Amino acid sequence: MSYFESDGIKLYYEVYGDDSAKETVFLLNGVMASTNSWHNLLDTFKQLNMRVVLHDFMGQMRSDKPQGPYTFKQHVDQLLALSDYLNVDTFHLLGTSYGSEVAMRCAIDHPQRVLSLTLIDGVSETNDVMRAFLNSWKTLCDLEDPYDFFWGMAPSIYGNTFMKKNYDFLEKRALAMRKVDRSYFEGQKILYDTFLKEVDFTDELHHIQCPALVVVGEEDILKPVVFSRIIASHIKNSEIYIIPDCGHVTVFEKEDELKTLITGFYAKKQRS
């Protein structure tokens, strides 16, 4: 396991590929995820000759969980500190949900560092339904039952078809959740509060200068398609893809389609 310390906070990270890779991409977690959520995508970036950096945000899994709420600026500063530590001057950012929102904040504030954005199921503003979902998850966290927590939040993030076809897969994930300890739930509540406090930057999206790929599941009820359309309409050099029969967790639900979109997007950037 590799850890990097930024301002006294230890962050867990992983690096795949070597210095001979053409470019580096940071894959940024969703709020409930961890670095292992990305492992099925690693071969895609290997074929593109790209080095991959994964890390758990503070508040997540193997990283420190200081008292919060945090700010997206803190996440971005830690990301930049990690990139400097790895001698990476410029990089691509690919994030899902919470990770895509941190990615946008980074591209707004540090456009000279970000080569491109891939934004999966993200938002730049919130609504009452989104806030209600997160408040219900905080209640589940307070119960501190990992199995019930997973099944309590699953219907709000997975698409109906995926849940029907993949019950065994989801049950395994629910059972695996029993390995988490109390600190996981404390970190989750901090991250939910951070999201609710920080996601309000639609009017800043025009500052993003790099190309952007916006991807969203058509059946995402947590962060519906309308919010991805808002993002794409405010980023000048962007393209949007709406994936049919898909909920919020595109990285699991439509892995093959996502790999195709990623490959095409980065291949175009490498040819230009």
How far, in Å, CA of 208 to CA of 130, rounded? 25
Domain boundaries, the chain: 2-126+200-271
Chain centre distance of CA 190: 16
Per-residue model confidence (pLDDT) at position 267: 86
Using an 8 Å Cβ cutoff, are 188 and 87 in contact?
no
Q: Using DSSP, state whether 41 is helix, strand or coil.
A: helix
Per-residue model confidence (pLDDT) at position 31: 96
DSSP 205: G
| Second-level CATH architecture of 2-126+200-271 | 3-Layer(aba) Sandwich (3.40)
Per-residue model confidence (pLDDT) at position 19: 78
Per-residue model confidence (pLDDT) at position 49: 92
HSE (side-chain half, CA atoms, 13 Å) at 62: 16
How far, in Å, CA of 30 to CA of 119, rounded? 11
pLDDT at 249 over 90: yes
34-82 pLDDT tens trace: 999 999 999 999 999 999 999 999 999 999 999 989 999 999 999 999 9
Per-residue model confidence (pLDDT) at position 191: 98
Closest C-alpha among 217, 235, 186 to residue 120: 217
Per-residue model confidence (pLDDT) at position 1: 75
Residue 91, both tokens: 């990089």
Kindly report the pTM of this predicted structure: 0.96
How far, in Å, CA of 155 to CA of 128, rounded? 18
Mean pLDDT is lowest, of 24-28, 47-51, 95-99, 198-202, for 47-51
Residue 20 pLDDT grade (very low, low, confident, very high; cuts 50, 70, 90): confident
Helix (H) or strand (E) run with residue 238 in it: strand 238-243
126-174 pLDDT tens trace: 999 999 999 999 999 999 999 999 999 999 999 999 999 999 999 999 9
Please, what is the average pLDDT of the chain? 95
Q: How many CB atoms lie within 10 A of CB 68?
A: 18
Closest C-alpha among 34, 201, 196, 29 to residue 99: 29
